[in-house]
Amino acid sequence: MPSPHLNIGAVLSSLFSRKVIHVFSTAEGLLTQDDRVTAHGLQEVFATNVFGHFVLIRELDPLLGRGDSPSQLIWTSSRSARKASFSLEDFQHSRGQEPYSSSKYALDLLSVALNKNFNQRGLFSSVVCPGTMLTNLTYGILPRFVWTLIMPIIWLLRFFANAFTLTPYNGAEALVWLFRQKPESLNPLTKYLSATTGFGSNYVTTEKMDLDDDTAEKFYRSLLELERHLRATLLSTD
């Protein structure tokens, strides 16, 4: 999430909204980002959060799902992955202001498409969300002293919203839980979320992803086409 900007107006209006818990759990409408274009002509957030990992999977294709036991992919998505932020016609989000949200929704779509195309081969894909954690990246959004001031409010919100995991240890709950499951037993349309109670107990909860197979497949085909185009461009440049 490069150069995040906090929308102060949205924060203040959310405080007096019925959706205050939802907004602060997902950061919906609170953050915008300045995206950049890479040397290869890709939107930076899309290239970092989606396309680079997709190319890695393509490179590992001879190994994934080829052994005696299933292969498992786990994507780190977000509660801020919103359908409204994503467009098939602009899947790199070059014309929007929420590239992070768009890229995370794109990961959800990609996971569903990979399951559709490769489950029969023994490759299974799942999506997790670590929740709201305070890390060096988070502290880049607001100065540390501001976080210190609002921490009592965040601790209070934890009694009403389980998304505030706050630490990387708590945020890893769903990821560790998924590694212990049989990948073929998991629902491909479910997102697995790390959650923490107001008293600090960790657990895993789930939510159905707001997407459809047709959009997921079209996005997957678009990624394949983009990969072919990029490889051809790099080959001609070399």
Active-site residues: which are they? 100
Instruction: Report the distance separating Cα 193 and Cα 19, nearest Å.
Output: 20
Query: Is the Cα dihedral 179, 182, 183, 189 positive or negative?
Result: negative
H/E stretch holding 204: strand 202-208
Q: Check if the beta carbon of residue 190 is closer than 8 Å to that of residue 206.
A: yes
CA angle 138, 142, 146 (to 5 degrees): 115
**3-class SS letters over 179-192:** HCCCHHHCCCCEEE
Instruction: Report the distance separating Cα 136 and Cα 165, nearest Å.
Output: 15
